[in-house]
Each structure stands twice: as structure tokens, then as C-alpha cells.
């Protein structure tokens, strides 16, 4: 994962630029259908458009509330309602929590001002209620605070499958350890909870003086903005929330005999950008011919389901590539008995079956002429005579024999299934003397 270093001058009026990203088809194409033979595959380009703000965001605002942060906190207080409503315009199910930290030895080195909530007024009030503390020496107690909001302290009850984001801003490095928690402890707590950290270093890049912010944002797949002025803090927070790295992957659920793979298996892009995959749909060699098989490909963002707009449906009709079976067997005479003379008696029964079609028609070609008779069903019985000098004909017969065929040559039984697969069997009889 990566960390992004960006000066605040690169940000714009982010409040005005976030678009609505919910309830849209993020997968192109959202459906795919094809007909493939067993063992065959098809490869298509699959594009996944990521939202500017990650879906179902649980956002924790982590504030350095020491004395030097007065102007920066004031900027956030003035713009917090715009920040919240702008994010909610993109992701209406966004929730916010507000936390802050001071230094070791203070009465409240870590405070949770408000738990996760979709109540904009409550979130704004929580930010308004942040009061400055002294701070002591330069390093502050942020490692303890970050540990608290992660899986270690479990101070914030994140929703299942939410996009968990900590927006951390300050202007000073942190004690290590901090109230008993090291940088490694804080990092593990955050990663175990699936948290992405967006860090903003206010003023000179003192927040990352010892590399803590760089390492933590890199480990959590977040981003670091450095050298941000107090006046630009709110805009930078919004710009950062719309430009976080997002890992796009997928889970597939397929009928037996069908599979879908992506190349690459996952791809990391900046939120709001497209992830492009080569998608291969493969039919197994032993797939049921004639069946229609399906796959559901559910794309994920940072391991969490992207939602309805991120689901692709694949449908494949498996080609019937197996010819039918046709045989020319000894048949009964008019009385229903089977003659003792075998094929020389000219009594035959045609048997035809297919692996897909319930029934298969059979046509009879006269090998001694262009005559063609049929179609006939499986189990049809014949009396076949070969008369080279006579005109070929077919007429109903009597008793257990359905048809009498007079041919100039032998009878070539041909069966063709609905898929066009063809097979033949030859009924041989001696010519009349």
C-alpha cells in the first residue's frame, strides 16, 4: 500500500467537487452472456469505477487539541457542517465519531467526544466542544489515541463491512511509547480493525518528524498530507477523503462447471478512479452440455462488499458438442417376432438418443440414389429391401413393422441433434435377386 505526500496548495475547494457516488452501476459491463464449448474460455475487459468516498464510511476525526492547534481546530469548527454534509451527499450512510488527544500527564490524554453517528448536528456539536489543553513538551500522546480507536482499545464500535477511516491531524510528533502503547501497538490495533488512516500534518511537517505518520499511513493503506496551513485544513480533509487508496478485488460464486478469474486478482487505485481487469470466464471440460451456468462476481473495496452496484452477473450456455447415438438393430417381422435370418431378412429397428435432446429425428438416405425419407423417431421399425432397378419408395407397413422401404442401395440412418451434431449408422441388406 502507499502513502501520499501532498502540499495543501495542491488542494482545491473540495466542498464543491465531491459528486454523488451511490446507487450507480460501478461495473462495466454489469452483465455478460455467452455460449461456450466445454473446456473453452472467453476473456473480456472489466472496468470497476470506484466511488470518490469509500462506501458506508465510519469516519473518526482524531484531533490534536494541544495549544498550538487553536487556529487549525478553529478552521475545522467553522467548516465541520460542510465537511459532514458534503460527504453525506456522496455516501448518505456515512457516520462520524470525534476524538482528541493531548499529552501524557494531562487529565484527559484521550477523549471520545462523540461515538459514531449519522446525526450531523451531534457531530458538529462534538467538534465545537473541543477545548485546548496545555501539551507539555513537544511530543504528544497520539500513539495511545490511535491505539484506543483501533482493535486494541476498541473505543469506537465500527459497523460490520464499513469503510473505517481515521482522519488524524496534528502538528507535533508522538511519544513512543505513549501511555504504555508503542507505535507497533498502535499500528497493529488499527490494522486489526481494518482502519485506513488519513493523516494531515499542520504547519511544518512536525507530525511526521520521526516518520510515525508515514509509517502508520503506509501500514494502513492511507495517505499523508504534509505542510498544510491551518486555513486549508478543512479543504485538505475533504480532498483526502476523496483520494484514498482503495484495493479493488472480487469474490465469485459460480455454478459447478463454470469459473471466473481476474487478472490482476486485486488492484489498488485512488478512490474515484477506475480499476481495469482482464476477466476470464472458463467452462470446465466436464460441464453439463446444454446447460446454462451462471456466476455472480461481487467486487470488493478494501475487502468489504462494494454493494449492489458492484455485482456482475455472468451467464454461459454450454454448447452441446457430443453427437447423438444412432444404431441399426435387428427388428421384428409383421407378426412381432424377430426373424432368425438376421439382417438378411431386411427387418430393422432404428435406435436414436442424445445427451441433451429428449428425442432425435432420424432420416434415411438411399446410398444408391438421391432419395431421402423421414424423419423417423427412435424405435421405428422397417422392412428394407434393396432393388437396384426399382424406384425408391417408403410406405406404411403392417403389424409390428412401421415402414417398408424400397431402396436402390443400403439405408444410411442419419441423426442430427438440435445443436447440429450428426452421426450415422448403415443398415445393410443384400439386393433382391
The CATH number covering residue 121 comes to 3.40.50.410
pLDDT, tens digit (0-9, with 9 covering 90-100), for 280-291: 999 999 999 999
Cβ–Cβ < 8 Å for 316, 294: yes
Q: What is the mean pLDDT of residues 312-338?
A: 95
Same domain, yes or no: 164 and 310: no
Most distant pair of Cα atoms in the chain: their distance: 123
Last residue of a domain, one of 207, 228, 244: 244
Domain enclosing residue 239, as ranges:
8-20+53-244
Same domain, yes or no: 188 and 291: no
CA distance 244 to 165: 10
Torsion, CA 233, CA 224, CA 54, CA 276, rounded to 10:
130
Q: Does residue 2 fall inside a structural domain?
A: no
Last residue of a domain, one of 244, 271, 295: 244
Domain CATH code at residue 388: 2.60.40
- Reduce the DSSP state of residue 375 to 3 states and report it: strand
- Reduce the DSSP state of residue 66 to 3 states and report it: strand
Same domain, yes or no: 264 and 220: no
pLDDT, tens digit (0-9, with 9 covering 90-100), for 420-430: 999 999 999 88
Tell me: pLDDT of 65 over 80. Answer: yes
Q: Which residue has the cell 479493488?
A: 248
CA distance 312 to 209: 46
Q: What angle do CA 357, 359, 365 make, to 5 degrees?
A: 110
**Element housing 62 (H / E):** strand 57-64
CA distance 157 to 148: 11
Same domain, yes or no: 61 and 170: yes
Same domain, yes or no: 357 and 277: no
Tally of domains in the chain:
3
Domain CATH code at residue 312: 2.60.40.2310
pLDDT, tens digit (0-9, with 9 covering 90-100), for 177-198: 999 999 999 999 999 999 999 9
Q: What is the mean pLDDT of residues 13-31?
A: 59
Same domain, yes or no: 277 and 332: no
The phi and psi torsions of 121 (rounded to 5 degrees) equal: -60, -40
Same domain, yes or no: 266 and 388: no
Last residue of a domain, one of 318, 345, 380: 318
Q: How far, in whole angstroms, is CA 221 from its chain's centroid?
A: 21
Same domain, yes or no: 334 and 309: no
CA distance 129 to 232: 21
24: which residues sit within 8 A by CB, 6+ positions away?
49, 309
Residue 319's pLDDT band (cuts 50, 70, 90): very high
Same domain, yes or no: 312 and 352: no
What's the confidence (pLDDT) of residue 20? 41
Same domain, yes or no: 340 and 420: yes
| Nearest Cα residue to 397 out of 381, 413, 414 | 381
10: which residues sit within 8 A by CB, 6+ positions away?
none
**Element housing 185 (H / E):** helix 183-192
Q: Does residue 3 fall inside a structural domain?
A: no
What's the confidence (pLDDT) of residue 6? 36
CA distance 193 to 162: 11
Beta bridge partners of 45: 278
More confident residue, 135 or 46: 46
Torsion, CA 5, CA 6, CA 7, CA 8, rounded to 10:
-130
pTM here is 0.78
Q: Does residue 1 fall inside a structural domain?
A: no
Same domain, yes or no: 188 and 210: yes
257: which residues sit within 8 A by CB, 6+ positions away?
283, 284, 286, 287, 288, 291, 293, 318
Residue 308's pLDDT band (cuts 50, 70, 90): confident
Centre a 10 Å sphere on the Cβ of residue 119 and count the other Cβ atoms it contains. 13
In the numeric block, which cell numbers belong to residue 366?
438411399
Tell me: pLDDT of 19 over 50. Answer: no
Q: Does residue 432 fall inside a structural domain?
A: no
Q: What is the mean pLDDT of residues 366-375?
A: 97
Same domain, yes or no: 340 and 235: no
Amino acid at each position: 500500500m502507499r502513502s501520499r505526500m501532498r502540499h495543501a496548495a495542491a488542494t482545491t475547494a473540495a466542498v464543491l467537487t465531491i459528486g454523488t457516488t451511490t446507487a450507480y452501476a460501478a461495473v462495466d459491463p454489469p452483465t455478460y452472456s455467452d455460449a461456450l464449448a466445454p473446456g473453452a474460455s472467453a476473456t473480456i475487459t472489466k472496468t470497476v469505477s470506484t466511488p470518490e468516498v469509500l462506501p458506508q464510511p465510519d469516519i473518526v476525526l482524531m484531533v490534536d487539541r494541544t495549544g498550538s492547534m487553536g487556529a487549525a481546530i478553529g478552521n475545522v469548527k467553522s467548516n465541520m457542517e460542510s465537511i459532514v454534509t458534503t460527504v453525506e451527499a456522496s455516501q448518505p450512510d456515512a457516520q462520524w465519531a470525534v476524538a482528541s488527544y493531548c499529552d501524557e500527564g494531562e487529565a484527559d490524554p484521550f477523549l471520545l467526544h462523540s461515538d459514531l453517528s449519522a446525526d450531523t448536528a451531534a457531530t458538529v456539536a462534538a467538534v465545537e466542544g473541543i477545548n485546548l489543553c496545555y501539551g507539555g513538551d513537544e511530543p504528544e500522546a497520539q500513539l495511545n489515541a490511535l491505539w484506543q480507536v483501533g482493535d486494541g482499545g476498541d473505543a469506537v464500535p465500527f459497523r460490520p463491512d464499513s469503510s473505517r477511516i481515521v482522519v488524524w491531524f496534528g502538528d507535533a510528533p508522538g511519544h513512543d511509547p505513549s501511555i504504555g502503547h508503542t507505535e507497533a501497538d498502535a499500528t497493529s490495533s488499527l490494522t486489526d480493525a481494518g482502519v485506513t488512516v488519513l493523516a494531515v500534518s499542520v504547519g511544518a511537517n512536525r507530525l511526521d518528524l520521526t516518520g510515525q505518520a508515514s509509517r502508520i499511513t503506509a501500514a494502513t493503506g492511507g495517505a499523508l498530507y504534509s505542510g498544510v496551513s491551518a486555513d486549508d485544513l478543512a479543504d485538505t480533509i475533504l480532498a483526502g477523503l476523496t483520494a484514498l487508496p482503495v484495493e479493488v478485488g472480487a469474490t465469485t460464486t459460480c455454478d459447478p462447471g463454470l469459473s471466473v478469474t481476474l487478472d490482476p486478482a486485486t488492484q489498488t487505485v485512488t478512490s474515484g478512479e477506475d480499476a481495469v481487469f482482464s476477466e476470464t470466464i472458463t467452462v470446465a471440460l466436464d460441464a453439463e452440455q446444454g446447460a446454462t451456468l451462471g456466476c455472480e462476481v461481487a467486487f470488493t473495496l478494501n475487502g468489504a462488499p462494494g454493494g449492489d452496484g458492484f455485482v456482475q452477473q455472468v451467464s454461459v450456455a454450454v454448447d452441446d458438442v457430443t453427437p447423438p447415438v444412432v444404431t441399426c438393430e435387428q427388428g421384428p417381422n409383421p407378426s412381432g417376432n424377430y426373424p432368425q435370418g438376421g439382417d438378411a431378412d431386411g427387418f430393422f429397428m432404428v435406435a436414436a438418443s442424445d445427451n441433451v435432446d429428449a428425442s432425435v429425428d432420424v432420416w434415411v438416405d438411399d446410398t444408391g440414389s438421391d432419395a431421402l425419407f423421414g424423419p423417423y423417431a427412435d424405435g421405428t421399425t422397417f422392412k428394407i429391401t434393396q432393388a437396384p432397378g426399382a424406384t425408391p419408395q417408403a410406405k406404411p407397413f403392417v403389424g409390428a413393422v412401421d415402414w417398408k422401404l424400397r431402396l436402390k442401395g443400403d439405408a444410411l440412418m442419419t441423426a442430427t441433434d438440435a445443436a447440429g451434431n450428426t452421426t450415422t449408422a448403415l443398415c445393410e441388406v443384400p439386393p433382391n435377386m
